[in-house]
Structure 1
């Protein structure tokens, strides 16, 4: 089957996640040296990132619809995520320059050639393909969620990694869907505003969507860094060793740290280090590891205390007061 040549990847970032973005870009270009890559600026604070366009061969996409998308995000915001409205900018990808595309957050690394996963939209006739699922992160328990599940909808997919096609949604359609979604705002996750929104849109339209691992096969169901098991390399590809699990010896395509702060205790920190340091001179690498060691020495005892059941319970009791 002949595929469209106008394919690529959108990613969203700003200077606040500069270190994360360096690791992302190095990993992306390791496995996708020539694939078109386009930055959707998370907000206006992108001065440092914009200096990297030539180094990592990415373009910058801005659109007049950003303000309208942010307005949708603001309408969904309940005060938990001050930057939440900016998350909605990513949905300008549906009318951006690429015909078929994948969207990726910057707080992850890419461990494979992404092109086949974008082409899968055309190959298998889907509108939208997603990765990790966690319905509680999208829909609250209640009648709306129950009705979706009865209709075999409501997967609750992650909004930080997915593939789709141009024209699936328009800004006008998003605004109409947002108006109806706000009527059941109490049945959507209070924090993950953009994730709840895109799930709602896909479920209400509805679109033909599926899970990458289920459609393509041979890859891990999840890419979250906290998953059990160990990742190993074999012949330039990465696989999960988790004996007895459904994902045992399946390929790892993406590894993301959603919900984690960048520190010495985050899981799979060695993978972040590998790609973050890929273009760094030796003296900067030495400083980096010194800082990491010092960070571990003070953070590890605090984390041990935090995970103690008694201490953690007392902390939350005092916090409520």
Structure 2
């Protein structure tokens, strides 16, 4: 049986990808990692991660493209904010019998593959507190009203940036059929924050996989993982959650732009430049002002000169 990690990346997220991989390899030099290209603009990141971090590219890129396009067409061309976010669905049909998927806006603080031990009893894992906020960013109340899911089912909603499962729990056609079900009922989903993949992915898992486990429900509880949580405490190169007294397993900047001044910037910067000097100008910098913003600032500057 093979176990491994999947990531999805391109050159646009080069810096985040390197930070994630350095954090993984610091504590785990052996687990195989496969990168699914997010789009055709991936040559730079692919060259570095394959040579320096032992990453392999997903072997059948034609399959990835076909899968993504088919899922896109099921909903119509104007539905997804970015159809390429569905490329993580290729994990179900890749080389690993058991696998962990990780978004690249994450750094890990442990040998993260060890969480796959829970797959001895379950078929799907997540590890977050998305459920604590109810069903927003995933479903609308109509899934309850229509009897699609029970209240207990909805306690298992999850963030789609960290999850683990097993190969071939369902077929490609099953995947297409499930997306087609979703396309018939867009009113079931909360896309208000443009979390395109997360609502559909939750529907797929809650519908198709009965043996699910959220790692934060392990005996003794588990720490948080979202970079939007302000209460984590840094100790060396790790963060601790004072609410549970436990070190974080990983930190996810979901919905948070990684740039100087962002939450836990020092932690991200530490892992990005692990083993190399930190440059005076960070590779990730605040975005330049738009032309509109620059014009407004110039007008304000001129007006200030004429103030009495």
Corresponding position of 2:299: none
Residue deviations 1:94-139, cap 9 Å, x none? 11111111000111111111122012212xx101011222421110
Deviation, 1:77, is 6.9
Go from structure 1 to structure 2 and tell me whether the alpha carbon gap of 1:226 and 1:151 turns closer, same or farther (over 3 Å shift). closer
1:8 aligns with 2:11: no
Matches within 5 A, 1:59-70: 59-63=56-60, 64-66=62-64, 67-70=66-69
- Show the 5 A alignment for 1:55-94: 55-63=52-60, 64-66=62-64, 67-73=66-72, 75-76=74-75, 79=78, 82=81, 84-94=82-92
- Partner Cα separation in structure 1 for residue 202 and residue 75 of structure 2: 14
Instruction: Tell me which protein shows more helix as a share of its residues.
Output: 1
Equivalent residue runs for 1:184-263 within 5 Å: 184-190=185-191, 191-215=194-218, 217-220=220-223, 222-233=224-235, 238-241=239-242, 245=243, 248-263=244-259
Q: 1:100 aligns with which of 76, 98, 101?
A: 98
How many residue pairs are counted as aligned between the two chains?
279
Deviation at 1:186, TM superposition (A): 1.5
Instruction: Say if 2:11 and 2:42, in contact at 8 Å, map to a contact too.
Output: yes
For 1:214 and 1:73, how far apart are their aligned partners in 2? 34
Provide Cα deviations, 1:268-317, integer angstroms capped at 9, x if missing partner.
1111110111133x3x623339x86xx59x9xxx9xxxxxxxxxxxxxxx
So what's the TM-score if we normalise by structure 1?
0.78
* Distance change (3 Å), C-alpha of 1:159 and 1:70: farther
**CA–CA distance in structure 1, aligned partners of residues 41 and 63 of structure 2:** 18
Secondary structure at the aligned position of 2:247 is classed as coil
C-alpha separation in 1, matches of 2:70 and 2:195 = 16
Query: Which TM-score applies when normalising by structure 2?
Result: 0.82
- Partner of residue 152, structure 1: 152
Q: 2:45 aligns with which of 44, 49, 53?
A: 49
The answer to which of 62-71 and 195-204 deviates more is: 62-71
Task: Report SS of the residue matched to 1:287.
Answer: coil
RMSD: 2.6
Structure 2, unpaired ranges of 5+:
294-308
